[in-house]
Amino acid sequence: MLPTKRYNQNWIPSIFDDFFDYDWMKRTNATAPAINVAETEKAYEVEVAAPGMSKENFHIHIDEDNNLVISMERKGETSNEQKERRYLRREFNYTKFQQALILPDDVDRKEISAKVENGVLLVELPKQTPEQKQQLMQHIEVK
């Protein structure tokens, strides 16, 4: 009896990857920080794991598409204190990350706040009160 050759059954995902060109460039060891999004009665809360980052490393804004854009960047510091030292190999320290989150319609954009505490960036997105929602509704008079 001839030995039967077992074929790999994982060919279907590779066909889709090839067709849609998902895997045209292999991923490097880049990792994105973990993000939690929670909802309370009065606000949405976004938490971004950012160990070693300070408030100066963050930039947060709302773009033209009503997305909350969180960017962080940290460059390694070099000191000139040890000029007698000659590096044979030195790993650079550079971190950059950007994430855009769609803002819900009921966020009070004027009251958004952010703080960094214990290696976590916390962005609080307060919800509008019913009165604020009513004020935003515009009545258009028919002439």
Interval 98-136: pLDDT, tens: 999 999 888 999 999 999 999 899 999 999 887 777 777
Helix (H, G, I), strand (E, B) or coil at 76: coil
CA nearest neighbour of 103 among 63, 58, 48:
63
Specify the CATH architecture of the domain 31-57+104-138. Answer: Sandwich (2.60)
| CA distance linking residue 22 with residue 6, whole number of Å | 27
* Burial classification of residue 101, based on how many CB atoms lie within 10 Å of its CB (0-12 exposed, 13-18 middle, 19 or more buried): middle
| Of 63, 29, 47, 64, nearest in space to 116 by CA | 47
d(CA 139, CA 125): 27
- Is 2 in contact with 9 (CB distance < 8 Å)? no
Residue-wise pLDDT for 42-64, tens only, equals 999 999 998 888 899 999 999 99
Indicate the residue type of 19. Answer: F
Query: For position 139, what pLDDT does the model report?
Result: 72
